[in-house]
């Protein structure tokens, strides 16, 4: 646990009692603060009280008397579409509002660091797609290289729940826009921006607000080095804002779509080969084509981002390449579940929007595509140009019939349920085919989470005859 610094002897309100909220309360108490816990959900309050905490009603009159700060969980709206009433009340009374990420960065450094030979570092990864895989891959490379490392944030443990740093340790954090938007302290040593695609418009009042939340990690955080994906205009803009010149190697541009040889430092992937260029010449190369844990161009972008971050930490290209080959990938992200009767079954349940589904569809050939769920604003018509590898689609869930109408001319079957979709896809599939779950939709019409959806797919696949 990281004891929170700066609030010893003060009352600090904590709103939201999920995983990060309870970890925050414990870290505040460990730092000498008096946490005042509240959640709008009676069930969440009951769970906290069962764990030994006392709840304080932050909605009552005078609840913030003597309170030094309000720490809110990232999922609770603080501005759009409407601020939570507790957060609104705190702001109206001038109470500073922060989150666990802000507390982490003000508390991470400890006095015993003065005795370390190598100062601990933080690597923060944000973006729309690929940030979980990139975060896990960086952590895996560091572990393979023998560097002490922990992984936290939007993946794994809460940031305040990790252990205090060892000498030379590197903490790798995945940060969502919800987390970067409100944190009052953002001081990563290395910051990574993977890409940007439309998402969370209600929370950020549009694409501009969504990008602005992610941009904070770079322009307000002031990292020593920035790794920036430049396959979208927002990444090109961000790299241009930070770099002082074309030769400025504090910015490492990465791409899975184009050559980037004319900058101070760049890493890109073309035709399955990763290349590192510095000051106009190539200094490293890795063949990514046969790396099972990183299939497709979208994972090649993740590989470029992880490679660049780890090279910034002084890890040799050969060590990184070895780690790539031992990386198993993450559950629900282009995860091969099984190969049965010559048919590959891939779980990409995390593909909850059209952009991530597009990347999955481009990564495989001879696809039997399982898609559908709770469709998002804008539909799936933009996927039409990316269906060349799809032999047949099997639509499920609330939006399955809408998907079929939007994707003109695609051979398809309305299956409604995952059971029926897996059964029919398996019956139709031939050796060399890939049955791909890439829903392009949220899961909440039939499942509690995309993880539950992916787990169900995996269970059904495992039960198929060999």
What residues are designated binding site for ATP? 127-133
Cα(354)–Cα(380) distance, rounded to whole angstroms? 6
Collect all residues with Cβ–Cβ distance below 8 Å to 306 and sequence separation of at least 6: 134, 137, 138, 141, 320
Q: Which residues are annotated binding-site positions?
A: 127-133
459 Cβ contact partners less than 8 Å away, ≥ 6 residues apart? none
User: In angstroms, rounded to a whole number, what is the distance separating the alpha carbons of residues 112 and 431?
Assistant: 59
Across the beta sheet with 434-437, the strand order is 335-340, 343-347, 434-437, 367-372, 390-396, 412-416
Q: Left, alpha or beta for 261 (phi > 0: left; psi -120 to 50: alpha)? A: alpha
Q: State how far the Cα of 109 lies from the Cα of 120, in Å rounded to an integer.
A: 8
- Strands across the sheet with 225-229, in order? 149-153, 170-174, 121-126, 190-193, 225-229, 251-255, 265-270, 273-278, 281-287
Q: What is the distance between the terminal CA atoms of the chain, rounded to a whole angstrom?
A: 46
58's tokens: 């932050």
Spatial distance between the Cα atoms of 189 and 334, rounded to a whole number of angstroms: 30
What single DSSP character describes residue 347?
E
């Amino acid at each position: 646990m990281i004891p929170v610094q700066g609030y010893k002897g003060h009352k600090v309100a904590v709103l939201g009692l999920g995983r990060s909220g309870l970890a925050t309360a414990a870290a505040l108490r460990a730092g000498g603060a008096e946490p005042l816990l509240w959640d709008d959900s009676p069930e969440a309050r009951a769970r906290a009280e069962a764990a030994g905490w006392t709840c304080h009603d932050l909605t009552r009159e005078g609840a913030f008397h003597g309170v030094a700060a309000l720490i809110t969980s990232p999922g609770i709206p603080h501005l759009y579409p409407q601020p939570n009433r507790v957060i609104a009340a705190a702001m109206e009374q001038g109470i500073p509002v922060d989150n666990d990420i802000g507390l982490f960065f003000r508390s991470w450094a400890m006095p015993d660091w003065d005795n370390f030979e190598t100062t601990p570092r933080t690597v923060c990864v944000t973006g729309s797609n690929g940030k979980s895989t990139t975060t896990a891959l960086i952590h895996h490379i560091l572990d393979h290289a023998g560097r002490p490392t922990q992984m936290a944030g939007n993946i794994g443990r809460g940031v305040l729940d990790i252990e205090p740093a060892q000498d030379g340790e590197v903490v790798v954090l995945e940060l969502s826009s919800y987390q970067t938007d409100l944190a009052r302290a953002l001081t990563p040593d290395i910051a990574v921006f993977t890409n940007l695609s439309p998402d969370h418009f209600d929370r950020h009042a549009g694409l501009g607000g969504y990008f602005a939340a992610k941009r904070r990690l770079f322009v307000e955080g002031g990292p020593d080095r920035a790794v920036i994906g430049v396959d979208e205009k927002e990444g090109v803009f961000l790299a241009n804002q930070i770099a002082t010149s074309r030769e400025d190697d504090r910015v490492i541009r990465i791409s899975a779509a184009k050559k980037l040889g004319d900058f101070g430092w760049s890493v890109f992937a073309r035709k399955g080969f990763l290349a590192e260029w510095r000051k106009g010449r190539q200094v490293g190369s890795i063949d990514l084509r046969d790396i099972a844990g990183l299939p497709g161009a979208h994972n090649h972008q993740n590989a470029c981002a992880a490679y660049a971050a780890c090279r910034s930490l002084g890890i040799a290209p050969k060590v990184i390449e070895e780690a790539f080959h031992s990386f198993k990938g993450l559950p629900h992200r282009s995860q091969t579940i099984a190969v049965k009767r010559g048919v590959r079954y891939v779980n990409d349940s995390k593909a909850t929007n059209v952009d991530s589904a597009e990347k999955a569809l481009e990564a495989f050939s001879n696809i039997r595509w399982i898609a559908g769920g709770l469709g998002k604003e804008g539909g799936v018509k933009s996927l039409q140009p990316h269906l060349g590898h799809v032999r047949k689609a099997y639509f499920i869930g609330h939006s399955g019939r809408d998907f079929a109408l939007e994707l003109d001319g695609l051979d398809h079957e309305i299956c409604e349920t995952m059971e029926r979709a897996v059964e029919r896809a398996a019956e139709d599939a031939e050796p060399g085919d890939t049955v791909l779950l890439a829903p392009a939709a949220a899961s909440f019409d039939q499942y509690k989470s995309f993880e539950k959806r992916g787990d169900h797919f995996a269970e059904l696949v495992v039960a198929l005859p060999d």
